[in-house]
Amino acid sequence: MALMLNIEDLLNKQKIESNRIEFKKGWNPVTIYHSICAFANDFDDLGGGYILVGVDTDENGVAKRPMVGMPEEQIDDILQDMIGYNAKFGPYYMPRTSTEDVDGKKVLVIWCPAGVNRPYSIPENVTAKHSKEYFYVRCGTSSIIAKGEVLDDLRDLAGRVPFDDKGNPDIK
């Protein structure tokens, strides 16, 4: 599995949102988990993606400097909440996280490598007790619900992994 990129590399090489990177000014688990799911599903086989929380953008999707950042006292609570939200994935999926200092502010980096057990679904609202689950994919800079032919193609991706490359969950 590839290593998470350095945050300055992410900001310098990818100053604008894309199908592999998303900037969020603040923590909103509902929309962020749609994107985590879409990156995990990796519909275009790009290797997943990154969500940078604490990064504001202009009207063109370009990251604004200096960073807005995240309140440091909120980060531990967010990471704890993520444990519960991750459990809502079907099948289970866990993104990687890192807290980085940029422009004197804290930025939460969520790395979402392509999942090996795709397709993944997540409730429409991860903060609600009961919410309908959907499969999400990236379409340009947006995370959208996979429907119709896109959903069929997403499900077909699971069958493209050769048998010899699949893990055996029953092995002891």
Q: How far is it, in rounded angstroms, from Cα 48 to Cα 112?
A: 5
Nearest to 107 by CA among 34, 165, 27: 27
Q: Which pLDDT score is estimated for 2?
A: 45
Q: Which pLDDT score is estimated for 172?
A: 72
Amino acid at position 81, single letter: D
Query: 22 has which bridge partners?
Result: 51
The DSSP 8-state label assigned to residue 107 in this structure reads E
pTM for the model: 0.86
Mean pLDDT of the chain: 88
**pLDDT surpassing 90 at residue 126:** yes
Confidence at 42, pLDDT banded by 50, 70, 90: very high
pLDDT, one tens digit per residue, over 65-120 is 899 999 999 999 999 999 999 999 999 999 999 999 999 999 999 999 999 899 99
Q: How far is it, in rounded angstroms, from Cα 59 to Cα 88?
A: 33
Nearest to 22 by CA among 45, 39, 43: 39
Classify residue 72 as left (phi > 0), alpha (psi -120 to 50) or beta: alpha
Q: CA–CA distance from 45 to each of 66, 74, 80, 138, 163 (Å)?
A: 32, 33, 29, 11, 18
**pLDDT surpassing 80 at residue 18:** no
